[in-house]
């Protein structure tokens, strides 16, 4: 009989951690495990990406806290061999539910961002306080997965014991990604007649992603080379970014554009001349691996944390200082002139495949539930 693994999240909105969990679910499914994907509220664009063999369970809770009694009831009946949760608030709810059931099912919580940076930049009192409570709560889980070595160090700064932490990179590359990358794009910038290079940014339009710096860098690049900038994503910074672009003398929808969120950024990545990650901080940097998987060159800020580890100190793409448009523009120009070979980028991206990462989770879980490892 196949073992059951439960994944728990608040929802499947369009964030990086949510996409990672969908990929992890598929990787574990391919290894032969039964998957219960439990959501406090079954909303979000990534729900449509779940394989029909995955059992989606909707706790129908209007707020995450209200899902606690329902998750308690689920865990009493589920007979799972492993629980994996992600993101701080969700991790705490998962832990409370597990403790209330008082069973021995291993719980692995995952941390996807640099929490010390979130403390510094958040205006929410809860966001500033919760990370300081993590050493106490995480002492009661079986393992804490940090998605990069940098995130691991960050957790240790907050007081989480290093013997609880295991670094496992994000599962990014799969056959669906590669298949979607070949989809047709109707945007005129990618028509067969279009010859102008397109620089791509992908992510939520927030302070963290710092698309302001990318816009400033692009304005400098435009003085040297004809090209275009497209940024995929939604967020609170949209109006400010459009105003900044126009202030810099750029023409909206001619020099730069914001098409919004898309379920398939991979098709854009595969046809773009390069992808730029301009973040002030990251936990990992999923979009770098996604672009590399389709053979597209990348430039990234050397931010805490993730890009340096993915690009191996700049071996697979240039790393530039945070909030430095001048250096970013020079790196973009150099990469357009001499991109990293496509086959090298794709070979590196395979290190972050669904199957490899799913196996790492099982290897970790087998320390607490040895019978889980029998399927590998």
Model confidence at 116: pLDDT above 90: no
Taking only the tens place, the pLDDT of each residue in 21-69 is: 999 999 999 999 999 999 999 999 899 999 999 999 999 999 999 999 9
Q: What is the pLDDT of residue 121?
A: 63
CA distances from 102 to 72, 95, 96, 138, 140 (A): 10, 10, 10, 16, 12
Q: Any residues with CB less than 8 A from the CB of 265 and at least 6 apart, and which? A: 202, 232, 287, 290
Whole-angstrom distance, CA of residue 113 vs CA of residue 120: 13
- pLDDT-derived band at 125, boundaries 50, 70, 90: low
Closest by alpha carbon to 294, among 189, 185, 191?
185
Mean pLDDT of the chain: 93
Q: Give percent above pLDDT 70 in the chain.
A: 96
Residue 376 CA, distance from chain mean position: 25
Pick the CATH number of 175-351 from 1.10.3720.10, 3.90.1150.10, 3.40.50.720, 3.40.50.2000: 3.40.50.2000
- pLDDT-derived band at 346, boundaries 50, 70, 90: very high
Q: Give percent above pLDDT 90 in the chain.
A: 84
Q: What is the pLDDT of residue 173?
A: 96
**Residue 264, number of CB atoms within 10 A of its CB:** 15
Q: What is the pLDDT of residue 88?
A: 87
Can you tell me which residue has the tokens 């301009």? 278
Q: What is the pLDDT of residue 191?
A: 86
Q: Are 299 and 318 in contact (CB under 8 A)?
A: yes
Q: What is the pLDDT of residue 376?
A: 52
* Of 94-103, 159-168, 365-374, the least confident: 365-374
Taking only the tens place, the pLDDT of each residue in 211-232 is: 999 999 999 999 999 999 999 9
- pLDDT-derived band at 126, boundaries 50, 70, 90: low
Q: Which helix (H) or strand (E) holds 34?
A: strand 34-39
**Residue 26, number of CB atoms within 10 A of its CB:** 23
Model confidence at 129: pLDDT above 90: no
Q: What is the 3-state secondary structure (H, E, C) of 195-235?
A: CCCEEEEECCCCCCCCHHHHHHHHHHHHCCCCCEEEEECCC
Cα Rg, the chain, nearest whole Å: 21
- Within the chain, all domains assigned CATH 3.40.50.2000 are found at 4-171+353-375, 175-351
Q: What is the pLDDT of residue 181?
A: 96
Taking only the tens place, the pLDDT of each residue in 180-215 is: 999 999 899 998 888 899 999 999 999 999 999 999
Q: What is the pLDDT of residue 113?
A: 83
Taking only the tens place, the pLDDT of each residue in 258-287 is: 999 998 999 999 999 999 999 999 999 999
- pLDDT-derived band at 372, boundaries 50, 70, 90: confident
The whole-number average pLDDT for the span 323-340 is 98
Domain 4-171+353-375 has CATH 3.40.50.2000: yes
Model confidence at 103: pLDDT above 90: no
Model confidence at 353: pLDDT above 80: yes
Whole-angstrom distance, CA of residue 3 vs CA of residue 31: 11
**Residue 1, number of CB atoms within 10 A of its CB:** 4
Closest by alpha carbon to 241, among 222, 225, 227, 260?
260
Whole-angstrom distance, CA of residue 37 vs CA of residue 26: 11
Closest by alpha carbon to 106, among 338, 278, 361?
361
Whole-angstrom distance, CA of residue 336 vs CA of residue 225: 10
Q: What is the pLDDT of residue 371?
A: 77
Model confidence at 253: pLDDT above 60: yes
DSSP string, 332-355: HHHHHHSPPPHHHHHHHHGGGBHH
Taking only the tens place, the pLDDT of each residue in 310-325 is: 999 999 999 999 999 9
Model confidence at 127: pLDDT above 70: no
- pTM for this prediction: 0.91
Q: How many Cα atoms are found within 13 Å in the side-chain-facing hemisphere of 321?
A: 5
Whole-angstrom distance, CA of residue 204 vs CA of residue 348: 25
Q: What is the pLDDT of residue 206?
A: 94
């Amino acid at each position: 009989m196949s073992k059951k693994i439960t994944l728990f999240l608040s929802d499947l909105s369009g964030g990086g951690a949510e996409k990672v969990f969908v990929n992890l679910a598929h990787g574990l499914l391919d290894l032969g495990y039964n998957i219960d994907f439990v959501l406090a509220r079954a909303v979000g664009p990534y729900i449509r990406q779940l394989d029909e063999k995955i059992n989606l369970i909707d706790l129908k809770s209007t707020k995450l806290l209200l899902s606690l009694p329902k998750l308690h009831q689920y865990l009493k009946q589920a007979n799972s061999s492993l629980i994996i949760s992600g993101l701080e608030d969700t991790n705490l709810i998962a832990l409370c539910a597990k403790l209330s059931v008082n069973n021995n099912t291993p719980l692995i919580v995952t941390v996807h961002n640099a929490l010390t940076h979130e403390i510094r930049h958040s205006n929410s009192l809860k966001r500033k306080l919760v990370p300081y409570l993590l050493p106490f709560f995480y002492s009661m889980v079986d393992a804490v997965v940090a998605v990069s070595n940098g995130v691991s160090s960050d957790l240790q700064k907050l007081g989480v014991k290093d013997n609880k932490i295991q670094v496992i990179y994000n599962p990014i590359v799969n056959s669906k990604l590669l298949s979607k990358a070949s989809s047709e794009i109707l945007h005129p910038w990618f028509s067969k007649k279009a010859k102008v290079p397109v620089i791509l940014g992908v992510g939520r339009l927030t302070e963290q992603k710092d698309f302001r710096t990318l816009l400033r860098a692009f304005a400098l690049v435009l003085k040297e080379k004809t090209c275009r900038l497209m940024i995929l994503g939604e967020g609170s910074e949209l109006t400010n970014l459009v105003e900044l672009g126009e202030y810099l003398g750029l023409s909206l929808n001619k020099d730069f554009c914001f098409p919004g969120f898309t379920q398939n950024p991979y098709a854009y990545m595969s046809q773009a001349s390069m992808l730029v990650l301009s973040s002030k901080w990251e936990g990992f940097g999923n979009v770098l691996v996604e672009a590399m998987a389709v053979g597209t060159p990348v430039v990234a800020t050397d931010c805490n944390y993730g890009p340096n580890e993915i690009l191996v100190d700049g071996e697979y793409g240039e790393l530039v200082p945070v909030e430095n448009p001048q250096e970013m523009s020079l790196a973009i120009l150099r990469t357009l002139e001499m991109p990293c070979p496509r086959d090298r980028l794709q070979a590196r991206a395979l290190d972050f495949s669904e199957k490899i990462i799913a196996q790492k989770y099982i290897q970790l879980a087998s320390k607490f539930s040895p019978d889980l490892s029998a399927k590998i």
